[in-house]
Structure 1
Amino acid sequence: MALHLATTDEGNALLERDPLALLLGMQLDQQIPMEKAFTSPSVLAERMGADHLDAAAIAALPPETLLEYFRTPPALHRFPGSMAQRTQQLCQAIVDEWDGDAATIWAGAESGAELVRRIAGLPGFGDQKAKIFAALLAKRFGVAPPGWQEATGDYGQPGHRSIADVVDDDSRVKVREYKKAKKAALKG
């Protein structure tokens, strides 16, 4: 399974092997291009001098240090201050509630509804983002507890609806076209 969410091979490799990097990429995926959001975890790891991301280490950083990692050009997000703070909150929640291991959030979820609920309970994740991430876990990582398709709604269906459906450059374009059409329909 080769991911095609980040702009670099190194970024995609980190997303594949590091559950926290994948989760942070999803958290950052708002108001910036998807590729930027999912590349930023590997840039953060590089700036921290690490080959993976550690929730406890990020949670323990002085906020101004993490902010500097986010602000240093190229910035990790369009809104480096708020996203650095949200990242630290997410990592603290993982430490406090999930023994510092992002993968435990989805490991052992007995149903799709439980999986979505666990993800939606994280800082920076709402219901829609939780459904998209659960669909990504199911479609790309085999984390598919019973009822995951129902729990993820449209995102669990075949097609090109979200990042869960991105497998190459062509599918990325189709997802963007779907999102654009959906926004146009909402504007009516």
Structure 2
Amino acid sequence: MTTIHLAQQPDADALLGRSPLAALIGMLLDQQIPMEWAFNGPHTIARRMGGDDLDAHAIAAYDPEAFAALVAEKPAVHRYPGSMAKRVQQLCRYLVDHYDGDAAAVWKGVATGKDLFARLNALPGYGTQKAQIFTALLGKQYGVTPEGWREAAGAYGEEGSFRSVADITGPESLAKVRATKQEAKQAAKAAKAAKKS
């Protein structure tokens, strides 16, 4: 089991460390909400489904309306519970159809970082950036290091960087990643303002 500190809550982080599906769902949910909230989501879903673990077959087969209600139940799993419930089910259906529901099979035995990135990029709800960040997360924290994984992860694969969830190993690195993101936002704002003037 891998020690993870993304949800910043022991039970939720323990699930992320032992469940590849939880890690994939956490990454999927990581948009337009704080990272800890996103990575707490898999644990909340598991609990509301009546267990300590997640099963792609069970989520894929769940009644969509009932699943949306489960995700929307307060406190909601995401700011946009309806659309994110759909995305989580799409991801699980894809895993069932392509990997027999085994999330780890997405990266098991991949020969190169390029292949790993391609497999992640093909997942519903994963675009280029998400696939790169998850490639970096697998390499930096889960020990999934096929040849060329850092290159495939782009800037997120750089050693010693504090750019994304891939670099968070505790409160100190979380603060550094937040600061980096804030700087990037301010630089983007300044660039936009400079263009207008």
Query: TM-score per shorter chain, which class?
Result: over 0.9
Alignment of 1:28-177 (within 5 A): 28-158=29-159, 159-177=161-179
Q: Which residue of 2 aligns with 1:24?
A: 25
Q: Which residue of 1 aligns with 2:194?
A: none
Q: Aligned equivalents of 1:59 and 1:3: distance in 2? A: 26
Deviations 1:132-164 (A, max 9, x none): 001000000110000001111110002111100
Q: CA deviation at 1:7?
A: 3.1
- Amino-acid identity (%): 53
Partner amino acid, structure 1, of 2:110? A
Q: CA deviation at 1:2?
A: 2.1
Instruction: Give 4+ residue runs of structure 1 displaced > 6 Å after superposition.
Output: none
Q: CA deviation at 1:8?
A: 1.3
Q: CA deviation at 1:114?
A: 0.6
Q: Aligned equivalents of 2:182 and 2:107: distance in 1? A: 30
The match for 1:183 among 185, 190, 193 is 185
Q: Aligned equivalents of 2:8 and 2:129: distance in 1? A: 24
Q: Aligned equivalents of 1:35 and 1:172: distance in 2? A: 10
Deviations 1:62-119 (A, max 9, x none): 0011111111000000000000000000000000011110000011111001101100
Contact 1:7 / 1:36 at 8 angstroms: preserved in 2?
no
Partner amino acid, structure 2, of 1:175? V
Q: Aligned equivalents of 1:186 and 1:127: distance in 2? A: 20
Q: Aligned equivalents of 2:94 and 2:119: distance in 1? A: 12
Q: Aligned equivalents of 1:70 and 1:7: distance in 2? A: 20
Q: TM-score, normalised by structure 1?
A: 0.98
CA RMSD of superposed structures (Å): 0.8
Q: Aligned equivalents of 1:108 and 1:180: distance in 2? A: 37
Contact 1:93 / 1:123 at 8 angstroms: preserved in 2?
yes
Partner amino acid, structure 1, of 2:137? L
Deviations 1:31-81 (A, max 9, x none): 000000000100100000112100010000000111111110000000000
Q: CA deviation at 1:186?
A: 2.1
Q: Which residue of 2 aligns with 1:8?
A: 9
Count of residue correspondences: 188
Partner amino acid, structure 2, of 1:164? A
Q: Aligned equivalents of 1:144 and 1:112: distance in 2? A: 8
Q: CA deviation at 1:18?
A: 0.5
